[in-house]
Copies of this chain bind each other. A is one copy, B any other.
Amino acid sequence: MNPDDALRHLDAHYQAMPPVAAMRMRIAGYDGRQLRLHAPLAQHVNDKGCAFGGSMISLMTLASWGVVWLHLQAAGLDADVFVADSEVRYLRPLFADLEVSASLAGDAGWDVFVATLRERGRARATLAASVALPNGGVAAQCSARYVAIARR
């Protein structure tokens, strides 16, 4: 699958999920390493006029999941991807649209993940995601582990 087709396929996957369709999010970009998502503040505003924490973690979860999914596609692997655990820090209130990005955490590459999944039918990856502030800072950040289980 070429990269554009993979992103279109990922977007269809996202929008087929009712909770995601309700978020009015879209894929903002992918450079082969980092996936970026966008969602309008109006759809995610809380009682204080800033972005709802649950929306920020949902979008960080989706972005991280999407990065794993894109790397499975690129490797030609068919697997279900589950979130196993996550740690989130909410650093500053966000009074603008949600700009979320996710990529593999640390210096690890995808090679070990792909090789492990091929060999054992199961592999784990830790993803780092964040929600940007308009001034370049960070509104919230998340570290989460994902498990891929090969489909038989």
| B88/A85 in contact, CB under 8 A | yes
Q: How far is the CA of A61 from the CA of B52 in the complex (A)?
A: 10
- Contact among B20, B42, B52 for A52, CB-based, below 8 A: B20
Q: How far is the CA of A82 from the CA of B52 in the complex (A)?
A: 9
| A19/B13 in contact, CB under 8 A | no
A152 at the interface (CB under 8 A from B): no
A120 at the interface (CB under 8 A from B): no
- A window 37-52: CB within 8 A of B: 42-48, 52
Residue in B closest to A61 when the chains form the complex, CB atoms: B54
| B55/A57 in contact, CB under 8 A | no
**Chain B residues within an 8 Å CB radius of A47:** 13, 16-17
Q: How far is the CA of A23 from the CA of B44 in the complex (A)?
A: 12
- A window 96-119: CB within 8 A of B: none
Residue in B closest to A20 when the chains form the complex, CB atoms: B52
Among A54, A57, A80, A83, residue most surrounded by chain B Cβ atoms (within 10 Å): A54
**Chain B residues within an 8 Å CB radius of A22:** 19, 22-23, 43
**Chain B residues within an 8 Å CB radius of A75:** none
A residues near B (Cβ < 8 Å) are: 13, 16-20, 22-23, 42-48, 52-55, 57-59, 61-62, 80, 82-90, 93
